[in-house]
């Protein structure tokens, strides 16, 4: 039996891996929807995160991990949950490691997870920092454009502030991404202020 791929570059062309990850994510998220009023297919979110990274010079493993970043967290109640072992087998240990770094421990209460994200952000790898920053950019856009149902103004302002505190620990790896986060944060706060 062939051994599992340890890194992407050694085994296949980057675009092939990226497309394989997009198809994998599309299947895992087939029945998942975003929380916003528009009820968009969930896969739109991971495609957006991957696109942000691809257009801002992030490395291929981070882009592949972006496509897969919510497959473990969001399939835990599915009949056949996706595991980090599945991701390692299909995309290699490096990608699985990045996905593990950006996944929350869902056994912890939500407020604890949010506090941990702030505290642990500076300790992440460069790839995970870029992925988490792109994730927050996508989420801030959604908070302004299509907020989750039932989230009042105060809750959305609190979310944007929290995302800013997480992002503070993710900065310094990719200046273009830092600048995009800052612009998105300003836009989200301005949109919320205009509503008030």
C-beta of 74: minimal distance to Zn ion in Å? 9
> Does 48 sit near Zn ion (CB under 5 A)?
no
d(CA 2, CA 181): 41
> Does 135 sit near Zn ion (CB under 5 A)?
yes
> Does 101 sit near Zn ion (CB under 5 A)?
no
Answer yes or no: are the C-beta atoms of 62 and 85 closer than 8 Å: no
C-beta of 170: minimal distance to Zn ion in Å? 14
Token couple for 131: 């992925």
Q: Which helix (H) or strand (E) holds 180?
A: helix 175-195
Q: How far apart are the first and last CA of the chain?
A: 61
Catalytic residue among 40, 51, 73, 182: 73
Question: Is 73 considered catalytic here?
Answer: yes
Question: Is 76 considered catalytic here?
Answer: no
Answer yes or no: are the C-beta atoms of 134 and 49 closer than 8 Å: yes
- The region of 69-77, 102-110, 114-122, 161-169 touching Zn ion under the rule CB under 5 A is 69-77
C-beta of 70: minimal distance to Zn ion in Å? 5
Catalytic residue among 74, 94, 101, 135: 74
d(CA 28, CA 77): 12
Chain contacts with Zn ion (rule: CB under 5 A): 70, 135
Please give the positions annotated as active site: 73-74
């Amino acid at each position: 039996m062939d051994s599992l791929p340890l890194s992407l570059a050694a085994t296949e062309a980057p675009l092939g891996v990226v497309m394989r990850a997009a198809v994998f994510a599309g299947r895992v998220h087939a029945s998942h929807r975003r929380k916003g009023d528009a009820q968009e297919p969930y896969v739109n979110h991971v495609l957006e995160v991957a696109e942000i990274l691809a257009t801002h010079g992030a490395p291929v493993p981070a882009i592949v991990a972006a496509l897969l970043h919510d497959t473990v967290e969001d399939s835990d109640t599915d009949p056949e949950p996706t595991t980090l072992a599945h991701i390692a087998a299909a995309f290699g240990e490096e990608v699985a490691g990045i996905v593990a770094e950006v996944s929350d421990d869902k056994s912890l209460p939500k407020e604890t997870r949010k506090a941990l994200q702030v505290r642990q952000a500076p300790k992440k790898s460069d790839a995970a920092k870029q992925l988490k920053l792109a994730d927050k950019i996508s989420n801030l856009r959604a908070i302004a454009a299509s907020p989750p149902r039932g989230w009042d103004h105060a809750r959305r302002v609190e979310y944007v502030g929290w995302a800013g505190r997480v992002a503070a620990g993710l900065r310094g790896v990719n200046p273009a991404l830092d600048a995009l986060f800052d612009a998105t944060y300003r836009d989200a706060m301005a949109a919320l202020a205009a509503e008030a």
